[in-house]
Structure 1
Amino acid sequence: MKVEKVIWNENICTHSGNCVRSLPEVFMLKGDQFVINEQGADISRIRTVVENCPSGALNLVPVEGTTDH
């Protein structure tokens, strides 16, 4: 099974808050830190939020050593 990890690029993030509002069980603010809990939701829901990030600051990348099988 291919495993994907969410990567956040803080340098291009516009802090619109779409991810936090859309999927708060995955994307959250703890104090002044942005936290991603990838186990908080199904990958298809996470993918939708990542694809709709207005700044493109969120991306899914394959985890090394995993496969498509």
Structure 2
Amino acid sequence: MFFLTICGDFRAFRRAVYAFLACTAVAFVVLPRDSTEFRFDKVRSTGRIGDLSLGGNQSPEGSEKGCSGGPTR
């Protein structure tokens, strides 16, 4: 989505945001307990996807560490 804003394609950016919000809303309607657990608990858990120092760790903490110049393998 960052690419869409850089290129100035704001219609595509809006569509991507709306699609994400719609899919998230459908997930909360279909599986409310699982969606809540994932969004507010599991997404912050780095143990399920690997060590923070791994380059492929795309968790919020892993991305933060990668952007801050932390060690990567």
Q: More helix per residue: 1 or 2?
A: 2
TM-score, normalised to structure 1, is 0.28
More strand by share: 1
Q: Which has the higher contact order (CA 8 A, sep 6+)?
A: 1
